[in-house]
Structure 1
């Protein structure tokens, strides 16, 4: 049975950009599960599956509807235990919780700063108006003011990745010898930036950039099916 996968897009339905949706795109491929994408714009999210969630991703697997990227990953591992694991056990789930919070508190804020105007430009008129109003209310500044800080913050952002950089000196993936959902969490954040904005976050020589390239190659190059901005 094909899993229905609601993922966030802008004006171009062929360019899904949400970091959380990319986690699930990679997780579905990791599990070898067939899915059908349902491109969804910001203003369409409240109607997804009868309003089950304020955000996407959302999946429908037969009669089962699951929202929230972490909950979806847990569901996929529990529903399909005969397929490759996303977590590698309870310890892996606990580690993934930490990685998720670290990513959202360390990586996401800077990418928001760096790519905000590019993300705005990806939307059609109605969704662009929603995006600007909702983000300016949340951030307390105009989008242009937020993005103005990106050059000054770049060195600090790169330095903040040192724990990840150091760990990747010992192993090819966050999950160890092969990727786990922990990798897809951080990959989703950097893929969000790659698709939304041409702004250069990392030098090619950075081991984090090299890990990201390995992740782009996973699952028959799934991450590369959407070109960089």
Structure 2
């Protein structure tokens, strides 16, 4: 039975953009598993699977229903052990948790300052109203205030990525010679930036850009097809 992955899109369902959903897309391809992706607008998420979750990703695998990208990755690792590993052992799970913390507490904050208005503009009107209200309440600033600082945020992005750049001086992927879920965590963040704003806003010769290009080529270039 083909799995169903519920992900996030704006008015154009062909441009899913959630960083957390991209982690799972890449993980499913890494495992070589068949799945159908069903992108949803923000306000449509509570209407699927009996209101199981207010956020995506949500994965339906037969009778199993799982939310949260890391929990989904752990589920895939346990349910499909014969397929390529996402973690390479328990040490890899622990390392991926560290990468997740760095990504969500540092990288996502930097990207939010760049992409917030672009995300708003991708949405249908109903979702624009929801997005503006929820994000302005969460951030304590208007979207317009965030937009005013966009150039400064782009200039600050390389510094936020220095830990990744440092690691890439020693190996081609976060996972070492080949990618693991830690790569997909950080890739998801930069793919979010790429899909919503059209670029990752780094020089082409930056080691992070070169790593990102390698990730775009993974799994027959499936991530490069969305732009």
User: Which runs of 5 or more structure 2 residues have no equivalent in the other structure?
Assistant: none
Correspondence list, 1:175-214, <5 A: 175-198=175-198, 201-214=201-214
Deviations 1:25-63 (A, max 9, x none): 000000000001112110011122111112000010000
Partner of 2:8: 8
Q: Distance in 2 between matches of 1:198 and 1:61?
A: 32
TM-score (norm 1): 0.97
Q: Distance in 2 between matches of 1:147 and 1:95?
A: 34
Deviations 1:164-214 (A, max 9, x none): 111101110000000000000000000000000035521111000000000
Q: Distance in 2 between matches of 1:74 and 1:199?
A: 30
Contact 2:8 2:17 in 1 (8 A): yes
Question: Aligned in 2, Cα 1:49/1:117: closer, same or farther, shift over 3 Å?
Answer: same
SS at match of 2:13: coil
Please identify, of 60-69 and 192-201, the stretch whose mean Cα deviation from structure 2 is larger: 192-201
Partner of 1:118: 118
Contact 1:3 1:35 in 2 (8 A): yes
Q: Distance in 2 between matches of 1:38 and 1:83?
A: 23
TM-score (norm 2): 0.97
Deviations 1:105-136 (A, max 9, x none): 11101111101111001000101111111101
Partner of 1:20: 20
Q: Distance in 1 between matches of 2:87 and 2:223?
A: 20
Partner of 2:65: 65
User: Which runs of 5 or more structure 1 residues have no equivalent in the other structure?
Assistant: none
Please identify, of 50-59 and 206-215, the stretch whose mean Cα deviation from structure 2 is larger: 50-59
Correspondence list, 1:1-229, <5 A: 1-198=1-198, 201-227=201-227
SS at match of 2:223: helix
Q: Give the length in aligned residue pairs.
A: 227
Please identify, of 151-160 and 172-181, the stretch whose mean Cα deviation from structure 2 is larger: 151-160
Q: Distance in 2 between matches of 1:41 and 1:77?
A: 28
Q: Distance in 2 between matches of 1:154 and 1:59?
A: 33
SS at match of 1:225: coil
Q: Distance in 1 between matches of 2:88 and 2:200?
A: 33
